[in-house]
Amino acid sequence: MKNYPAEMLNYHFWASQTILGRIKELPPAVLHQEVNSSYPTLAHALNHIYAVDKMWYLVLTGMEMGAALQECMPLSGRILETVDEYMQLFAELANQYKEWLGNGLDTEQVITLNNPYAGVRETSLAEIMLHAANHGSYHRGNVSTMLRQLGYASTMTDYALYWYLQPVSAAL
């Protein structure tokens, strides 16, 4: 049986690299060009996606959510200079997720999540994985809108496109 939460994470990291690839095709200054949107620049939006991905990775691997948030908060403000740096950062984190998933863990395992903003609840690792993928999709939409506001076309990162571009054996 297919591990759909892992498949969604695989899609998420593919989609992030795909949109980063599109940004790389544009003039380098676009990454830091100000826009009136959810984030002041594409770099700020990418930092947010990465910081949240990293925070959830830390939670999935056993860190308490409050501590993971504290560790990752500074990442949101760390602006990198080039798209290549973002591509490398996202690829390294994707590899960490893949290694974690390769350990054969039970993604239906339930943990107590103590979210400082929302409270305590029981949740499965699978739910967190699906949330991380969904969060990335939401903010890639912000990035696409920002690109259009800057006068550039975005690129398609739909899950349905991912089906056709990825070999069946590429799952995490």
CA distance 54 to 125: 15
The confidence score (pLDDT) of residue 77 equals: 84
The confidence score (pLDDT) of residue 92 equals: 98
Average pLDDT in the chain? 94
The confidence score (pLDDT) of residue 165 equals: 86
Arithmetic mean of pLDDT, 126-154: 97
Arithmetic mean of pLDDT, 135-155: 97
Entry pTM: 0.93
Q: Under the phi-then-psi rule, with left for phi > 0, alpha for psi from -120 to 50, and beta for the rest, what region is 62? A: left
The confidence score (pLDDT) of residue 121 equals: 97
pLDDT band at 1 (very low <50, low <70, confident <90, very high): low
What percent of the chain shows pLDDT beyond 70?
96
- Higher model confidence: residue 53 or residue 170? 53
